[in-house]
Structure formats: structure tokens, C-alpha cells
Amino acid sequence: MTMQKKYRGVVVPMITPLRNGGEIDLEAAATLTEYLVAGQVAPFPLGTTGEAASIPMQARAQFVAAVIRQNARRMPVYAGISDNCLATSMEMARQYADLGADVAVAHLPSYYPLGDDDIKAYYERLADSIPIPLMMYNIPVTTRMSISLDTLECLSHHPNIVGLKDSEKDTERLQAATAVWKDRADFSHMIGCGSLCALALEMGSDGIVPGAANVVPRLFADLYRAGFNRRQEESNRLQALADSISAIFHTNRTLSQSLPTLKAMVHFLGYCQTDVMPPLRPLTQRQLRETGEKLASLRVVLSEQGYVVPRPAEVRPVQIRAAKRAGNDAKRPDVVPAQGDQPS
């Protein structure tokens, strides 16, 4: 069994519900958050899946506030603060901390190529300057840089850096990373590559960050529990189901094509519109029809395995305190709660 750490479990990089050509759909944001939290996964607004780089600052804050309000301290909230301007990332972290976010997540600025010393200095300065814990984010597909494990290991000892989300699809790197950090109580490794969830958990990763969990969050919560408890046959079976979700929006698509397709899938479930932010483009009518047909077939398979995707229910507004992070709230879990999250 993997060591129980503070930052672990399923963290979902949320799609950002939009309407009217770019406004945050606050009602849809609340409904989607409720769907995720009810599935026992932690929300992560403003990641790559959420088109964060294309969303205006005011709208980003509106979205984070809506997620935090609906979450009502039931799960940790991971908020993306990535930006090419360091001062902007710092300001977002302070603002989201005031709203009640628990962890800030940041990948590297992507305009200038950075060496190991540059990367180390950047994350140290960011971590020193923000009021909530920082999780580093390695995503070479967008930054065009892979952060070396040596650099990450050095940064992992910073008192305000609590973990890594690694979206690099490299099994040798994954094996080396988990070997270094799986026994570190103060640092968490989370895999951001959906196809490697079961393998990462088997190797000792602390969490999974799959975009496909926007579609069926409970499946990924079950996958995490199976992997955490070393039920590898069950974990592999659920990974195959997860891969069937990802195949609809990911296979033979670039990132700029896969994100509108994932959002269309969530739209067909009733949780958002199909709007995306430029430079991304929404699917054509033909693409929408094909995606809807594939999703309809998949829902039959999922239902046979016990995963019936509900239609959105009316979400009751949740009253929350204005305090930052209610540290004295004993009912609020510090980690993603998971039933059966014990050795079996």
C-alpha cells in the first residue's frame, strides 16, 4: 500500500464551462463541480484542460470562486496559476488563496527556453512568494521543456513545494520518479498522463490527474482505490475503461483538437455548452454528431460495468464562510476522501 500523504487521490483538471462566446457559465461551473465532488474527486480549475492560458484574469477568478463556493470545503481545491509573467502568477495565488484555494499549481513560463538553474530559481521565487502550497507541473507538450528529475528533486525540499504533477508520457521517467518520492511523506507525485494511471499507482505514485474524469469521475475514484490497495487486476480493468473514454477525444488528435472534443462530451452529458476560447475552435456539426454517437455507445459499456452517468440535477447553492481556509474546520478533510482507502 502507498504511504498516505496529505496530497493524494484523484485530482480532476476541470473543463471551463463557457457561454455567449466566452463568459464563464457560473451555473454550469457549480453543477460540474458538484458532479465531480459527489464522485469523490478533487477539482482543479484553470489547468491545461481548462483552457487557462486563453481565459481573461477576471474570468479566471470568477471560475475559481464558483468552484470553491460549490465545493464548500468537501475536497481540496487545486487552482492553476500558470502564466508567462511571474508577478501575475503570484497575484493569482494570493487572490485564489483569499477565495479559499488549498494548493496552487504552476507549469513553467513557455516563451523562453530555460536551463536547470533558471527553472530552479523560478520555482523557488514563486514558492517563496505565495501564501499557499505550490505543486509543480511538468508538461512538455505545451512548454516545450521537460524538467529534469534532478532539478525536481532539489526543488522538492523547498518547504512550500508539496508535489509534482507530471504529464510527460515516459514510463522510465515515471519509474525513476516514484522510486525517489514514494517514501517521502512531505512530497507527492501525481501522474498527469491518463493512460498511465494504473501503472503509476502500481509504481507508487500518490495521485492521478486525468482529464477524462470530467466524464465519469467515480470510475477514476474507483481506479485510484484499487491501485492504492494493490488490487492490480481491478485497477487494470478500470484503466481499460478509462482508456475507452480517452480514445474518443484523444486518439489521433492534437491538444487543440482534443480539448473541444472533451468539452463536447461533457456537453452531451448535460454539464456545459460546447463553447471554447480562441484560438481553439468548437467542433463542427459533423464532428459533434460523430462524438455524440461514440459517447452514446460508450455509455452502454459503462452502464454494463456499473457506471451510469447521471443527468445534471438541480444544484442547491452552498453557503460558505468568507474566511480564507478555515483551518479550524475539523470536518474538512485534508486529502481526497476515498471509501475503502485502507489495506485490503
Q: What is the mean pLDDT of residues 285-313?
A: 93
For residue 3, the model assigns a pLDDT of: 74
For residue 325, the model assigns a pLDDT of: 47
Q: Is residue 140 part of a domain?
A: yes
For residue 310, the model assigns a pLDDT of: 82
Reported as a pLDDT band with limits 50, 70 and 90, residue 313 is: low
Tens of pLDDT, residues 20-38? 989 999 999 999 999 999 9
Q: What is the pTM of this model?
A: 0.91
Q: What is the mean pLDDT of residues 169-192?
A: 98
For residue 316, the model assigns a pLDDT of: 54
Q: Is residue 339 part of a domain?
A: no
Rounded to 5°, angle at Cα 258 from 253 and 263: 155
Residue 208 sits in a domain of what CATH number?
Answer: 3.20.20.70
For residue 11, the model assigns a pLDDT of: 98
Nearest to 141 by CA among 118, 107, 114: 107
12-21, 110-119, 223-232, 320-329: the lowest-pLDDT one: 320-329
Q: Is residue 83 part of a domain?
A: yes
For residue 275, the model assigns a pLDDT of: 97
The dihedral built from the CA positions of residue 148, 153, 154 and 155, taken in this order, carries a sign that is positive
- Please say if the pLDDT value at position 337 is more than 50: no
Q: Decide: helix, strand or coil at residue 208.
A: strand
- Please say if the pLDDT value at position 327 is more than 70: no
Pairing of strands 18-19, 23-24: antiparallel
Report CA 187 to chain centroid distance, whole Å. 17
Write out the DSSP string of 107-131: E--SSS---HHHHHHHHHHHHHH-S
- Please say if the pLDDT value at position 315 is more than 70: no
Q: Is residue 121 part of a domain?
A: yes
- Please say if the pLDDT value at position 343 is more than 80: no
Rounded distance, CA 229 to CA 93, Å?
Answer: 34
Q: Is residue 275 part of a domain?
A: no
For residue 4, the model assigns a pLDDT of: 84
Q: Is residue 338 part of a domain?
A: no
Q: Is residue 134 part of a domain?
A: yes
Percentage of the chain exceeding pLDDT 90: 88
Q: Is residue 252 part of a domain?
A: no
Q: What is the mean pLDDT of residues 188-207?
A: 98
Cβ atoms 100, 77 nearer than 8 A:
yes
Rounded distance, CA 104 to CA 101, Å?
Answer: 8
More confident residue, 334 or 248: 248
**Domain that includes residue 133, residue range:** 9-229
Rounded distance, CA 225 to CA 201, Å?
Answer: 9
Rounded distance, CA 114 to CA 130, Å?
Answer: 22
Tens of pLDDT, residues 70-102? 999 999 999 999 999 999 999 999 999 999 999
Number of structural domains the chain divides into = 1
- Please say if the pLDDT value at position 283 is more than 90: yes
Q: What is the mean pLDDT of residues 111-123?
A: 97
Rounded distance, CA 36 to CA 327, Å?
Answer: 23
Rounded distance, CA 165 to CA 135, Å?
Answer: 7
Rounded distance, CA 204 to CA 284, Å?
Answer: 41
- Please say if the pLDDT value at position 329 is more than 60: no
More confident residue, 319 or 277: 277
